[in-house]
Chains A and B, each alone.
Chain A
Amino acid sequence: MKRSPWNLVFIAASLAGFAFASVSTHDFVQHLDRQVHSITCSFLPGLATPAMGESGCQVTLMSPYSSVFRTWLWGGLPISLPAMAVFAFLAFRGIDLLVNQAPTARAPRVFLVAAAALPAVTSLVMGYIAMNVLDAACKLCIGIYVSSFVALVAAVLEWRTAPSAAALGQEPEGEDANPARSHAVSVGQGVGFVLIPTLLYGIIAPDQTEIVQSCGELAGLEAPAGVMVPLDQNAGAKAAVEVLDPMCPACRAFEGRLEASGLGPQVNRSMVLFPLDHCNWNVGQALHPGACVVSEAVLCAGDRARDVLSWSYAHQAEIKDVATAAAGPEKEGEPAKERNARVDAAVTDHVSKAFPDLKACIGTPAVKKKLGDALRWASRSQLPVTTPQLYIEGRKLCDEDTDLGMDFALSRLLSSAAATPSKEATP
């Protein structure tokens, strides 16, 4: 009896989904060594172009949605790993249907539809998150979504077009003889397919408990008044100091990850402003033009410092555009001071539109002195010239742990800090 082609399509879609999920898992797993790696970003798994930086793939991989159980394992369990297992299971069921089941068997085909629905529904959820929450398109993820839907459609067509045993006057046999039992066994197989690689991952993933607590401590220098700006109001939580630049995209992303982790209420942060701009003598050139002005605005805001910081995070791209436009094309021989003054004036105007009452304060000697105090405190404390930096009760969250490993590392630092009474944020 001639077999329908839809099962072959189903197998091909399952294998394609497996390939996409595998490349995504590989990208994730290689970060377990705590190094920086390029991320695959291509519709052709294996023929990928590495892409660094703020690509959709990077955003998706580093987002809180790329893995689960993040406080149990460093980085958590990548969701692409169960996806790999599910596609491997679908491929197994498709191949088994092709070479080991009767062309009229109904139960395996019905199960195929149910099993294919799982990645399709998951794809709908993840696609919604990517579009509406992350605002990022990941090519590998799109590959998985497409594979899932093709597999589901092929499974449905395979089921609907398969000849019926009853129509052929045959008695139900094999799995069709007891469909309920057959489905129960199939579900068990599927669970096993997901559990085995997942447990294996959990068992062999390197334990990073010690490493995440070995990245140094604050020197404990006394900070001048006004250098530590309250960021959280979490009474009873562990005191923490965050060194940040309001124009730094990594700081904004870190804030989002901290919020998504649910660990935010366990820390009571004070921020130290460390703009990587011309007012900071530790940077050779302005990395984040306008950051000095925005930092001054945060310091001017007093009790509303957090509001100004949140506004700057939300409008980073816009502020950067204003700064770039004010700087204009680089002119030979133009003193950096003049260029910086233009940028500062334009950014001051922009910030003042959102917070008119801060205009009189930005740029005054008093606030410049305060910002200078923060920069000098950081210099005397010999902090690394990087943002963000988070110190829990004086102990540093490793730079390598500010993205994928943040939940794990933060929970370990909080646990170790729990053994000691909470200190005031001001070191």
Chain B
Amino acid sequence: MKFGLHVGIAGASLLVPSALVSIWVGGAAARLAEAKEAPTEKPAVATAAMADEGYCSADLKKVLRRVLQSCGLVAGGRGCQPLEAKNVAAMAGDDFNALFMPLADRAAILQFDKESAELDPGDLALLDATFADQRGGSYFFVVSRASPDGSAEFNRDLSQKRGDAVLSHLRQKFADPNNPTAFNGELDQQVGLLWLGEEVAQLDSQFCGWKRSGAMDAAAAPADGTASTAAPGEPASAAPACAAEELNRSAFIAWIDCRL
């Protein structure tokens, strides 16, 4: 055996893996340093945020902002009376209602008995299902109304009681009983109340096809309480009878998927 040849073959054989490792690791280290120098070149990962759906038009956001500031959520009070609401919306009742039309898929109408502010089991099931389906919604709107039977003052009070009944149930059902003032105190920050009495923005027949607890009562409530009667946009005839006065003895509820 020639020792020199032996060492030569060994050296060459060892050099190859060592050189390859040096080149590869050196290349990776250089790329790493380069990426560190230019971090902006890294592809951006989407960041989670509250929802901001396409229907959040400038007009809707304007009204929402006014309602939130003037009707309690931002200022710390609770609810807007009819005249305040009228001024806040700064628009005709039909225009006001039209703003909420894109919410057909998200909203529900809790129908009360005449002169009553009591939520029956059908109302509660629909309210729970609608409120639980918050998804990325930031604000839960409760717009309570009364039909034009009786005096305006009586109906104003009645619609306020209906709105309060909704809020009271939500607090009871969804606030954390062990820690009511902590994160779930936010429930109060999320729920916006407008009571409109009989004076502002009465609902018309185009809302008959929406999810309504009254319609559910008439058609027998589904076991899961989801209360779907007619798909939004479906002709009113697909749902049980829907008179204007019944439709307005109500609280319109919906999560609003808008970031303000």
Which residues does A use to contact B, with CB under 8 Å? 18, 22, 25-26, 29-35, 81, 84-85, 88-89, 91-92, 95-96, 99-102, 105, 174-175, 189, 192-193, 196-197, 200-201, 204-206, 208, 211, 222-225, 274, 279, 281-282, 337, 363-366, 368-369, 372, 375-376, 378-386, 399
Cβ of B132: which chain A residues have Cβ within 8 Å of it?
364-366, 368-369, 372
A204 touching B25 by the CB < 8 A rule?
yes
A204 touching B26 by the CB < 8 A rule?
yes
A32 touching B21 by the CB < 8 A rule?
no
Cβ of B186: which chain A residues have Cβ within 8 Å of it?
224
Given contacts A32-B28, A225-B176, A379-B49, contact A204 B134 (CB under 8 A): no
- Which residue of chain A has its CB nearest to the CB of B28? A32
A385 touching B32 by the CB < 8 A rule?
no
**Nearest-Cβ distance from residue B73 to partner chain A, whole angstroms:** 16
Which among B1-9, B192-200, B206-214 touches the partner chain? B1-9
Given contacts A95-B13, A222-B183, contact A383 B26 (CB under 8 A): no
The proximity string for B residues 86-103 relative to A, scoring 1 for CB distances below 8 Å and 0 otherwise, is 000000000000000000
The proximity string for B residues 178-190 relative to A, scoring 1 for CB distances below 8 Å and 0 otherwise, is 1100111010000
- In the bound complex, CA of A281 to CA of B105 (Å): 15
Which single member of B17, B36, B131, B224 contacts A369 (CB below 8 Å)? Answer: B131
- In the bound complex, CA of A174 to CA of B131 (Å): 90
**Nearest-Cβ distance from residue A64 to partner chain B, whole angstroms:** 21
A382 touching B47 by the CB < 8 A rule?
yes
- In the bound complex, CA of A92 to CA of B139 (Å): 74
- Which residue of chain A has its CB nearest to the CB of B44? A384
Which single member of A32, A175, A196 contacts B32 (CB below 8 Å)? Answer: A32
- Which residue of chain B has its CB nearest to the CB of A243? B48
Cβ of A105: which chain B residues have Cβ within 8 Å of it?
1
Which single member of B31, B105, B136 contacts A375 (CB below 8 Å)? Answer: B136
Cβ of B178: which chain A residues have Cβ within 8 Å of it?
225
A281 touching B6 by the CB < 8 A rule?
no
B48 touching A282 by the CB < 8 A rule?
yes
- Which residue of chain A has its CB nearest to the CB of B51? A281
Assess whether B135 is interfacial by the CB under 8 Å rule: yes
Cβ of B48: which chain A residues have Cβ within 8 Å of it?
274, 282, 375, 378-379, 381-385
Assess whether B59 is interfacial by the CB under 8 Å rule: no
**Nearest-Cβ distance from residue A291 to partner chain B, whole angstroms:** 15
**Nearest-Cβ distance from residue A84 to partner chain B, whole angstroms:** 5
- Which residue of chain B has its CB nearest to the CB of A382? B47
25 inter-chain pairs at a CB distance below 8 angstroms, sorted by A residue, are A22-B17, A22-B20, A29-B28, A32-B29, A32-B32, A33-B29, A84-B21, A92-B9, A101-B1, A197-B17, A197-B21, A204-B21, A204-B22, A204-B26, A205-B25, A364-B132, A372-B132, A372-B133, A372-B135, A376-B136, A379-B49, A381-B48, A384-B45, A384-B46, A384-B47
Report whether over half of chain B's contact residues are helix, strand or loop; otherwise say mixed: helix
Q: Which 7 A-B pairs have the closest CB atoms?
A: A365-B132, A92-B13, A32-B28, A281-B136, A33-B31, A365-B128, A206-B29
Interface centre among A102, A174, A282 (most CB of B within 10 A): A282
**Nearest-Cβ distance from residue A166 to partner chain B, whole angstroms:** 19
- In the bound complex, CA of A384 to CA of B43 (Å): 12
**Nearest-Cβ distance from residue A204 to partner chain B, whole angstroms:** 5
Which single member of A26, A31, A222, A381 contacts B182 (CB below 8 Å)? Answer: A222
- In the bound complex, CA of A100 to CA of B10 (Å): 12
Cβ of A95: which chain B residues have Cβ within 8 Å of it?
9, 13
Cβ of A101: which chain B residues have Cβ within 8 Å of it?
1
Assess whether B18 is interfacial by the CB under 8 Å rule: yes
- In the bound complex, CA of A374 to CA of B224 (Å): 23
- Which residue of chain B has its CB nearest to the CB of A279? B135
Which single member of B17, B29, B33, B136 contacts A379 (CB below 8 Å)? Answer: B136
Given contacts A88-B16, A376-B136, contact A175 B9 (CB under 8 A): no
- In the bound complex, CA of A364 to CA of B225 (Å): 9
A30 touching B184 by the CB < 8 A rule?
no
B47 touching A383 by the CB < 8 A rule?
yes
Given contacts A26-B24, A30-B24, A32-B29, contact A282 B13 (CB under 8 A): no
The proximity string for B residues 38-80 relative to A, scoring 1 for CB distances below 8 Å and 0 otherwise, is 0000000111111100000000000000000000000000000
- In the bound complex, CA of A368 to CA of B33 (Å): 46
B5 touching A85 by the CB < 8 A rule?
no
A200 touching B136 by the CB < 8 A rule?
no
Which single member of A89, A99, A223, A386 contacts B13 (CB below 8 Å)? Answer: A89
Cβ of B123: which chain A residues have Cβ within 8 Å of it?
none
Cβ of A379: which chain B residues have Cβ within 8 Å of it?
48-50, 136
**Nearest-Cβ distance from residue B234 to partner chain A, whole angstroms:** 13
**Nearest-Cβ distance from residue A211 to partner chain B, whole angstroms:** 7
Interface centre among A34, A84, A282, A365 (most CB of B within 10 A): A365
B2 touching A281 by the CB < 8 A rule?
no
